[in-house]
Amino acid sequence: MRHHVGALSLDVRFVLTKPWNVLFGPSGSGKTTILRGIAGLVQAKGLITPRGRRTPLAPQSASLFPHWNVADNLTMGGGQRGHGDSREILKLFRLDDLKDKLPNALSGGEAQRVNLARATMWAENGGILLLDEPFNGMDVALRDEIIHDMRAWLAKRNVCVLSVTHDVAEAFQLGAEVIKIADGKVIAQGPVEAVLAEERERLLKQLI
Partner 1 sequence: MDSEALWLTLRLALTTTALLLAIALPLAWWIASGTGAVRALVQAVVALPLVLPPTVLGFYLLVALGPLTAPGRLIIRLLGHPLAFSFSGLVVGSVLYSLPFAVQPMVAGFRAIDPALAEVASTLGASPLRIFRTITLPLAKPSVITAAVLTFTHTVGEFGVVLMLGGNIPGATRTLSIALYDQVQDFNYAAANRTAGVLLAFSLLTLIAVYWRGAARRSVLG
- Positions touching partner 1 (CB under 8 A) are 39-41, 54-57, 59, 61, 63, 65-67, 76-77, 80, 82, 102, 104, 118-119, 122, 130
Q: Which is nearer to partner 1, 31 or 118 (CB)?
A: 118
Q: Which is nearer to partner 1, 127 or 175 (CB)?
A: 127
Smallest distance, partner 1 to C-beta of residue 73, A: 10
Smallest distance, partner 1 to C-beta of residue 31, A: 16
Q: Which is nearer to partner 1, 76 or 142 (CB)?
A: 76
CA 116-53-180 angle, 5° bins:
60
* φ, ψ of residue 206 in degrees (nearest 5): -60, -35
Smallest distance, partner 1 to C-beta of residue 148, A: 24
Report how far Cα 88 is from the mean position of its chain's Cα atoms.
Answer: 19
Q: Which is nearer to partner 1, 119 or 171 (CB)?
A: 119
Smallest distance, partner 1 to C-beta of residue 113, A: 15
Long-range contacts of 3-7 (CB under 8 A, 24+ apart): 3/30, 3/33, 3/37, 3/42, 3/43, 3/44, 3/45, 5/33, 5/42
Assign 160 to helix, strand or coil. Answer: strand
Cα–Cα dist 32/7, whole Å: 15
Smallest distance, partner 1 to C-beta of residue 25, A: 22
Compute CA distances 138 → 32, 111, 115, 153, 185, whole Å: 20, 10, 12, 19, 30
Q: Which is nearer to partner 1, 115 or 180 (CB)?
A: 115
Smallest distance, partner 1 to C-beta of residue 180, A: 25
Q: Which is nearer to partner 1, 154 or 182 (CB)?
A: 154
**CA neighbor of 41 nearest in space, from 24, 28, 58, 23:** 58
